[in-house]
Amino acid sequence: MTPNAALLLLADGRLPAGGYAHSGGFEPTARLQGLNDAAALEDFLEGRVTTSGFVAAAFAAAACAAAHAGNIGRLGQLDPELDARMPSPAVRAVSRALGRQLLRVITRIHPHPVLATLDPHAHQPTVFGAAAASFDLSPQDAALAVLHETITGPASAAVKVLSLDPYEVHSALARLTGLLDELAVRAAAHALDDPDQLPADASPLLDIAAEHHRSWDVRLFAS
Amino acid sequence: MSARASLTTEHTIDRAGRGVSRVYGLRSQAPLVLRPTHPKSAEPFTRHATNVARVSLTSGAAGPLGGDHFELEVRVGRGSTLVLNEVSATLLLPGARGGLSQMRITITVEDDATLVWLPEPVIAAEHCNHVQDIDVALGTSSRLLMRDELQLGRHREPPGNLTQRIRVRRVGRPLFQQQLTVGPATPKWRSSAVGGGHKSLGTVLVVDPDWGGDPPSARILAHGAAMFPLAGPAVLISALADDTLTTRRLLDRGVAHLGDPWASEAAAAPSA
Amino acid sequence: MTDTHDTPRTRSLRLGVAGPVGTGKSSVIAMLCRKLNEEFTMGVITNDIYTDEDARFLRSAGVLPSERIRAVETGACPHTAIRDDVTMNLLAVEDLEKDFAPLDIVLVESGGDNLTATFSPALVDAQIFVLDVAGGGDVARKGGPGIARADLLLVNKIDLAEYVEVDVEQMVKDAQSARDGRPVLALSKKMPDTVEALCEWVRQLHAAHSRGVHTPTDPGPMAPHFHATDEGGYEHSHESGDSSGEHAHH
Ligand SMILES: Nc1nc2c(ncn2[C@@H]2O[C@H](COP(=O)(O)OP(=O)(O)O)[C@@H](O)[C@H]2O)c(=O)[nH]1
Ligand SMILES: [Mg+2]
C-alpha cells in the first residue's frame, strides 16, 4: 500500500517549517515586471515549476532514492551539485534555511536515523527527499511534494502581494495539477542519475529578482 | 556534416628568455577554423599579462545547420594564457531535412593557466533545432573568464529550439551548472520566472582562485541584470535584455566591477 | 521541545513580548536591555512585518552589541511565527544562544499584530503583553488571550493618560479582574519607579527559571476562558514579597 497519508502530511503547507514566510520569488517578480493578475501568476508558476521546481524535484527524488539505499555518500554529493545550480546567493541561502527548518521539524515529529546523517544546513530538496524516504515514500512522491510546494508557496503569497481572488488563484493551481504529475514522473526518472547529470534548468529572471528582493528595505516576504 | 577542431597551449621560454604562451596543437576542420590572431579590442584580464596566446574561431558563413555535429576541444596548458575569441556571431539554422545540430565544446584549463573565452553571440534562427554542450574542467589554480550570449531569433523572428548546457567543474567538484531551453518546444521559456520574453540573454562566468571563499559580493546591475558570487571562488554575471548590444553592455558593466585584473582597460575607465 | 532537557546555564530564559503595533514593545525591550545589561547577558530576536525596522531601532539605540539583535522575517504572518509555526524563531533563538553562550535572557519581540496573537510555549518560557493607554481604557476589560493570560500585562505610556482621558487606576483594575490575579504593571519610560518594577519582575522570573521552578504556560490563541491546568500552571514560588515581583499563580 502506498503511504498516501504521509505524502499529504509532508506536502501540507501547514507543516511548521517556515514556508509561509516565502513567496518563492513572486513578490520581487511581481514588482519588477508589473504582474497584476491571476493569469500572470499562473505564467510565473509554470515557469518556476518547470525550471527550478523541476530541478528541486529531481534532487528530492535522488535524495529519496539515496536515503532508501542507505547511500550516505551520495546524499552528501547532492548539496554541492545544488549549489552549482543556484547562482544567486540569496536563492542558495533560502534553500538551505528552508532545508534546515524542515529537517528540524521532521526530526522532531518523526525521528529516523537517515535524518541524523544529513548536514544540518542541507538544501531543502535534499531534506525533502530524505524525509520522504523516512516515511517510506517513493522518489516520485518526494518529487511531487516538492513540486506542490514550488507552486503553492508563491500562490498563497500572491494572494497577499496582489490581493488576488483566492478562487482564481486556486483555479490556476487546479489547472497545474496535471503538469505537476507529469513533472513528478520525469523528475523521478532522474532518481538514480549520477549527481553531475541531474537536471540543471535555469531560471535567470528568478535569480536576478532574488537579489533585487534582498536589497529592498521594505518587503512582505523573506524571499 | 561533422567537424572537429582542437587547440592546445603551453607555457615556454622564448629566445629572449621571457615566458610566453605558445599554441602548439592547432587543428581545424572546415567549417571550424582556428587561427592565431591579434588583440581584437579591449579585452579583460590581459592588461598586465605579456605572455598571452590569441586564437580566433570561425565556424563558417552560416553556422551549424540541422544535421551538423561540431566539436571543439581546447586545452590551456599549465601556466599558459589563452584568449580565444570569435570572428563573428554564430547563426543556428534548420537543415534541409530538419534534424538536430550539435556543438560540443570541451575545455580544460590546467593549473596556473588562464582562459579568456569571448565568443560572439549565438543566434537561434526560427526553426533551428540545436544542442550546445559546454564542459569546462578547471584545476585548483586555473583562471577563467567565459562569456556566453544568446539571441533568440533574428529580427522580428521567434527562435527555434535551442538547448544549452554549461557545466564547469573545479578539480572534479561542481562549480557552475545550468541548462537553458528555449523555443516552441518549451513555451514556458517566456515565463516571468525564466526569460520573460527577452530576446537576448547572456552570462559571464569568472573564476579566480585568488578570491578564495570570498568572491566579489552580489550586485544588481539593472532590472534584468545582476552579479552573483557563486559557492566557490567565482562570480556569474547574468543579463537579459531586448537586444544583444544591451546585454553586452550590461555584462561589460559587471566585469568592470571586478576590477584588477579582470576589468578591461576600456571597461575600467569611468563610463562616459 | 528537546530543549527542555537543557540546563538553565546553556539555555536562556526566553521571554516573549507581544501586543498591538505601537504600544511600546521595542521600547520595553530597549529599556530592559539598558537597565539589566550589568546583571544579565541578553540577546534579542525581532519579528518584523515588512522590514527589519525593529532590529534597526534596537541596534541604533545601542543597548546591546548589534550582532546580538537579529531579525526574523515572518512573511506578513507575525502571529504564525510565534504560534502555529515557530520553527524560524526557535532556530533564531537557539543560534543566538549558541553564538553568544551563555546568554541569560533572550527577548523575542512579536511583529505587533492584534490582540489575539500570543506566543506558543514551544517558543518562549514566559511572555509579556503590552497595551498602552492610547489604545483606550476599554481594551483591558475586553480581554483576549494575551491580556488574560500573559505572564505579565503592561499598561504602557501612562504619562499620556491625562491627554487621552484614560483613568490608569481603573484600567489596571479592569485588567486585573480580566486576569484572575495575574500581575499587571503600569509603565512609563518617563517614570523610573515603574521601570524599576518591570525590571524587578524580570529578575524574579529569571531567578525562578534558573531554579527550574518556572513552567511555561500557554495563554492559548483564542480561548479567553481557558483555565490553566495543574500541569500547565505556574509552580514557582514568590519569596520576594515585593509586589512588583508578583507572579501569576493559580
Ligand atoms: N509617551 C510615551 N511614549 C512611549 C512610551 N513607550 C514607548 N513610547 C513611544 O511609542 C511609540 C511606539 O513604540 P515602539 O516601542 O516602537 O512600539 P512597538 O510597535 O510596540 O514596538 C514610539 O514613538 C515610542 O517612543 C512611554 O512610556 N511613553
Ligand atoms: Mg516594535
CA proximity to B178, closest of A45, A66, A93, A206: A206
Q: How far is the CA of C86 from the centre of ligand 2 (A)?
A: 19
Q: Where are the domains of chain C?
A: 10-225
Over residues A43-57, mean pLDDT? 98
Per the CB < 8 Å rule, is A105 touching C80? Answer: no
Tell me: the pLDDT tens digits for C182-199? 999 999 999 999 999 999
pLDDT at C240 over 90: no
Per the CB < 8 Å rule, is B229 touching A89? Answer: yes
Binding-site residues on chain A for chain C (CB distance < 8 A): 14, 16-18, 20-23, 100-101, 104-105, 108, 157, 160, 217-222
pTM value?
A: 0.91
Q: Which amino acid is at A86?
A: M
Nearest 5°: phi and psi at B114? -130, 135
Cell 528552508 found at: A98
Min Cα distance C14 → chain A (Å) is 19
- Asked if B229 contacts B215 with a C-beta cutoff of 8 angstroms, the reply is yes
Nearest-Cα residue of chain A relative to residue B226: A208
Query: Rg of the Cα trace of chain B?
Result: 18
Tell me: the pLDDT tens digits for A20-31? 999 999 999 999
Q: Is the distance from the beta carbon of residue C204 to the nearest atom of ligand 1 less than 6 Å?
A: no
Query: Is the four-CA dihedral A34, A170, A39, B188 of positive or negative sign?
Result: positive
Furthest CA-CA distance within chain B:
59
Residue ranges of chain B with pLDDT lower than 70?
40, 61, 265-272
What architecture is the C10-225 domain classified under in CATH?
Answer: 3-Layer(aba) Sandwich (3.40)
Neighbours of B111 (CB within 10 A): 14
Is A73 or C136 the better-scoring residue by pLDDT?
A: A73
In the structure grid, which three cell numbers stand for residue C112, read together? 505587533
Relative to beta strand B101-109, strand B129-138 is: parallel
Q: Rounded CA gap, A123 and C168, in Å?
A: 53
Q: Rounded CA gap, A31 and B187, in Å?
A: 23
**Chain A contact for C88, CB < 8 A?**
yes
Q: Rounded CA gap, B107 and B167, in Å?
A: 10
- Asked if A68 contacts A75 with a C-beta cutoff of 8 angstroms, the reply is no
Per the CB < 8 Å rule, is C88 touching A18? Answer: yes
Using an 8 Å CB-CB cutoff, list chain A residues near C2: 108
pLDDT at C109 over 80: yes
Neighbours of B18 (CB within 10 A): 10
Q: How many residues does chain C have?
A: 250
Per the CB < 8 Å rule, is B223 touching A196? Answer: no
Residue C58 pLDDT: 93
Is C123 or C48 the better-scoring residue by pLDDT?
A: C123
Instruction: Work out how many CB contacts closer than 8 A connect A with C.
Output: 51
**Chain B contact for A147, CB < 8 A?**
no
Q: Which amino acid is at B32?
A: L
List the single best residue of B170, B192, B206, B227 to mutate versus A (max A Cβ within 10 A).
B192
Among residues 230-249 of chain B, which lie with CB inside 8 Å of chain A? Answer: 230-231, 236, 238, 240
Percent of chain A residues past pLDDT 90, beyond the cut: 97
Residue C79 CB burial class (10 angstroms; 0-12, 13-18, ≥19): buried
Residues whose CB falls within 8 Å of the CB of residue C134, separated by 6 or more in sequence, listed in order = C22, C157, C160, C164
Cα atoms in the Cβ-side hemisphere of radius 13 Å centred on C147:
24
CA proximity to C197, closest of C172, C177, C218: C172
- Asked if B223 contacts B254 with a C-beta cutoff of 8 angstroms, the reply is no
Q: Tell me the pLDDT band of A212, cut-offs 50, 70 and 90.
A: very high
pLDDT at A13 over 60: yes
**Chain B contact for A168, CB < 8 A?**
no
Residue B101 CB burial class (10 angstroms; 0-12, 13-18, ≥19): buried
Candidates A100, A157, A218; nearest CB to C91:
A100
Neighbours of C102 (CB within 10 A): 12
**Chain B contact for A150, CB < 8 A?**
no
Relative to beta strand B225-229, strand B234-241 is: antiparallel
Q: Mean pLDDT of all residues in chain B?
A: 92
Residue B264 pLDDT: 74
Candidates A33, A52, A211; nearest CB to B228:
A211
Q: What long-range pairs does B234-237 form, CB within 8 A, spacing at least 24? A: B234/B168, B234/B175, B234/B176, B234/B205, B234/B206, B234/B207, B234/B208, B235/B205, B235/B206, B236/A87, B236/B176, B236/B203, B236/B204, B236/B205, B236/B206, B237/B203, B237/B204, B237/B205, B237/B206
Per the CB < 8 Å rule, is A84 touching B176? Answer: yes
Q: Rounded CA gap, A25 and A173, in Å?
A: 17
Provide the edge-to-edge strand list for the sheet that holds B69-76. B19-23, B2-13, B69-76, B101-109, B129-138, B161-170, B173-182
- Asked if B224 contacts B198 with a C-beta cutoff of 8 angstroms, the reply is yes
